[in-house]
Amino acid sequence: MKNIAVFASGSGTNFQAIIDAVESGELQAEISLLVCDKPGAMAVERAEKHGIPTFVFSPKSYINKEAFEAEILKELEEADVSFIALAGYMRLIGPTLLFKYEGKMVNIHPSLLPAFPGKDAIGQAIAAGVTETGVTIHFVDDGMDTGPIIEQVPVPIEENDTANHIRRKIHDVEHALYPRVLQKLLHETKIETY
């Protein structure tokens, strides 16, 4: 059984989908750690409810990113984490973590990358007037949502869709897709990217 860590900054709905998949046996892994950069985030409550250890920190209390990533790395090593899933973690990963977990860290993003990277991808899609957005799972590199793409699923934008409608449709796709892709990544030897 592989030990994984989930990084989240907010409400943690994708984190919950991963927890549910582990508890149902759909995802064969142990969630050894939640890393959260927002004390008081709902994701922390979810972890506590399911008995998952947490490392919660406030970036402002560190001298720089290297300092808090060094502490995260120590926590990951103590928890014997071999794979990381970013689930709404709103920070770029720096070299301290990338060096140790290159090729073993993935992110989920609410657009069809390379379109609409970064924050508020749904708002970006609405502003652009596109008729389709989607969900992308990709390996993490040192750029903003630029790593090799593992899987994408399109989500149509209907004429009367509000941002909330689109968000709900995207969440439905994310919550089914992420655990399935994580299972594949953790238990298959060759993963195609594009």
Which residues are catalytically annotated? 109
Query: Can you tell me which residue has the tokens 């008729």?
Result: 131
What CA–CA distance (Å, rounded) separates 8 from 56? 10
Q: Are 43 and 11 in contact (CB under 8 A)?
A: yes
What CA–CA distance (Å, rounded) separates 98 from 103? 9
What CA–CA distance (Å, rounded) separates 124 from 104? 29
Residue 40 CB burial class (10 angstroms; 0-12, 13-18, ≥19): exposed
- If residue 85 lies in a helix (H) or strand (E), which one and from where to where? strand 83-86
Cα–Cα separations (whole angstroms), residue 117 to 88, 92, 145: 13, 12, 6
